[in-house]
Structures are given as C-alpha cells and as structure tokens.
Structure 1
Amino acid sequence: MVIFLVCALTDWLDGYLARKLNQITDLGKFLDPLVDKLLVLAPLLSLIELGQIPAWGVFVILGRELAIAGWRVNQATISGANIWGKLKTVSQIIAIALLIAPLGESWRVPALAAFWVCVALTVISGVIYLLPSEPLKSQS
C-alpha cells in the first residue's frame, strides 16, 4: 500500500510542478492520464485475481478509460482533466488503498463501498467528459 501511495503522490507532484512551473505540454497532457490508468488498473486487476472485487466493476472502469482515451486521441487539441476526472482518480486511489491496506475484516465493507463510489464517479466523469461543452443550438 505504501508503494502504491508513493506512486500516486509522485504522479500528483509531477502534475503540480508542471502547472506551477508552467511546464505543461501536449505530451504531458497525453501521457499523464495514461500513467493514471496504469496506476489504477494494475492493482484493480490484481484484486480481481485475488477475489477481492467483482470483475464487472473493473471492466466498467476499463471501458470508460478506453473510451475516453480513444475520444481524446481524435481531438484537435488535447485538454487536461476536468474536476470530475480528478475526483474520479482520487476516489480510485482511495478505494485501492483501502482494498490493499492490511486493515482487517472490519474494513471490508467500507473498502468495497469506496470501490463502488469510484466506479460511479468513473461513469459520471466519463459521461460529463463526452457531453458537449456548449448546448446544441436548435435547428429551425
């Protein structure tokens, strides 16, 4: 769990420093979400193998991530994550940390609840990401 949280912290620190030092690049905006996906999906796949979480919840997360990654590649400009994407990532990190922490059986229900919250936020953030930013004008 400590290694996982250190990785998550360094990922956050990288983004923070890039913004603070005005070193944001299109490559960074493309690669950072990919690193986030690897950081999240690797432990989730391991938790499936260990029987700790249901596979379909992880497949929902994986499906959203693949859909958004594919959508982003086809955009003329690469945009950074919005607040919903950031909330999704934070909720995933919290859920994974609770699921892999050696906390005992009394933490099983809160850890699973955190997992389902992160699945819900993953779906919500995906829907929001794909919605047009401006309302469609009615055609006359």
Structure 2
Amino acid sequence: MNFKKLTQSQKQVYLAKAEITLVSEKLFLKCDLSLGDLAKESGIQLHTLSHLINSQANQNFRDYINVMRIGYFKEKVNDTGWKDFTVEQMVTACGFNSRATAHRAFIRHVGAAPSEYLKLHRLQYDHRTVPKKGYNFG
C-alpha cells in the first residue's frame, strides 16, 4: 500500500487499527516494543505505519507509545491493586524500560515527573484518619 495515495479517511482508519492493536493486546506495555512489532501485529506496512504516526498523530513512534504508557500510568494511580507500588514499579509495569526514560517522557508530555504526578493525584489510604459516617466537615 502506498501511503501517498491514501485518503484522509483511509489514514484515520489505519491509525485507528494500529491503536486498537496496541490497546487490545496491550502491546504498549512491552518495554522493547518496536515499530516493526506493531507493523507485524497490525498488518500495516512498516513505512506506512511510520508515516501515519508521524503525520496523523504528529509524533514519532517513541513519543506515541510513551503517551499511551503515561495514560495507563494515570489510570492506575488510584488502582487498589497498585496502591503499594513504588514509582519505579509503576513505570516498569507501564512499559517504560527505566525510571529515567519515564521521567523524560513525563516531563515532556505532562510537565511533571512521575513521582510529582503521583504525589498530586494518588489518594492516601490511612484508615486511622477516615472520618466516620455522619461526620460534619463544616
């Protein structure tokens, strides 16, 4: 398939197919995911896929995947199964191959480090300080 001959609608369909493949198979959680892996899994030619990500998502492949990983991190911040995870465990579980890589991606796309994001958005579960039913906050 020649990506230069694709209509805008076709480009959107192919990019959606790639995204569905990434999400449904959670490929973005693989720390060693490559563009070639995604091309193989989605059935979209490598050069076409690269062009689509660059032109339609306005990102390179690495940024495109890291944004998905950041989104997953944000979803898991208050997941009770992850409440005892350290920042390092969380970013690794999200597919980042190191804390430094996650840090750079977060600064670039969120404007804060993963640890800062966690401090701002993670709920604190301290059962000793939970108000009893009927407590008046006024």
Indicate the structure whose relative CO is greater, using CA pairs within 8 Å and at least 6 residues apart.
1
Computing the radius of gyration from Cα coordinates, the structure with the larger value is: 2
What TM-score does the superposition give when structure 2 sets the normalisation length? 0.29
TM superposition score normalised by structure 1: 0.28
